[in-house]
Structure 1
Amino acid sequence: MSNDQAKAIVEVTAKDVQGPGVVACPNPKMPLWSNHPRVFIDVTHEGGGKCSYCGTVYKLKAGETLGHAH
């Protein structure tokens, strides 16, 4: 296992999710110096989604549901 795969993982709740199952990165808790253009990460898939800029992985917390099924 490689250390470069050990990126930040942010677990989000259903109320953190915006629009159709996405969250924004950078998130409000990230320091200002680390900002990059805002991107939306889809967290509706198993394992969540990864930011293409900073590598942060976003996923739903265990037991969280989005309340709408497609």
Structure 2
Amino acid sequence: MVELLSLEMAVARLRAKRAELSLKQAKAMLYDNHGLAVSLALCSRIRVGQARAKAARRRLLRMVPSTSALRDTAP
């Protein structure tokens, strides 16, 4: 059970890190002058990336309290 939970936490951390990296790359590309259409597409990508990063962090935070509860109940 603990191994499954640690695997789920590792996947959640990886998902959050990937979302934040994608968001950072999109923001960096926005500063380059590619034209209006590309900038609008990047703004959309940034909004989606922000939502994805927020959801991944929220999912990870939901797992953390359950981990500490498991440690408290373990003999």
Provide the TM-score with structure 1 as the length reference.
0.25
Larger fraction in helix: 2
Q: Greater Rg, structure 1 or structure 2?
A: 2
Provide the TM-score with structure 2 as the length reference.
0.24
Which of 1 and 2 has higher RCO (CA within 8 Å, sep 6+)?
Answer: 2
Larger fraction in strand: 1
